[in-house]
């Protein structure tokens, strides 16, 4: 498991794999919601509440644990984008 850290722009240039986990409180989300949430959170990793980097042989694995705060933010952003 990746250590919880802050967004690191330098490591981002070396990310070649991503991993998404969900907090236990989000276990009730369906597969479709988890899929778009995972994609959305990795599109803007600098906004993720819990992000870590794990060294791999060829770079870094970015691991984001989706939190309730992330879900609220992403749904808000989705609604705002749909309103325009």
**pLDDT one-digit tens code per residue, 23-65:** 999 999 999 999 999 999 999 999 999 999 999 999 999 999 9
For tokens 């240039």, the residue is 13
Residue 2 domain-assigned (yes or no): no
Residue 35 domain-assigned (yes or no): yes
Residue 3 domain-assigned (yes or no): no
Residue 73 domain-assigned (yes or no): yes
Residue 4 domain-assigned (yes or no): no
State the total domains in the chain.
1
Structural domain span for residue 13:
9-83
Residue 74 domain-assigned (yes or no): yes
Lowest-pLDDT range of 6-10, 39-43, 63-67, 79-83: 79-83
Q: Name which of 44, 35, 34, 40 is nearest 12 in CA terms.
A: 44
pLDDT at position 1 over 90 = no
Residue 78 domain-assigned (yes or no): yes
Distance CA 60, CA 65 (A): 16
Three-point CA angle 2, 72, 9, nearest 5°:
40
Residue 1 domain-assigned (yes or no): no
Taking the model in full, what pTM does it have? 0.88
The number of beta carbons lying within 10 Å of the beta carbon of residue 67 is 17
């Amino acid at each position: 498991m990746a250590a919880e850290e802050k967004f690191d722009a330098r490591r981002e240039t070396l990310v070649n794999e991503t991993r998404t986990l969900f907090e236990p409180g989000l276990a009730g989300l369906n597969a479709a919601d988890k899929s778009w949430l995972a994609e959305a959170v990795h599109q803007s990793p600098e906004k993720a509440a819990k992000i870590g980097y794990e060294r791999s042989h060829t770079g870094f694995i970015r691991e984001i644990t989706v939190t309730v705060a992330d879900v609220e933010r992403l749904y808000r952003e989705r609604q705002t984008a749909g309103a325009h």
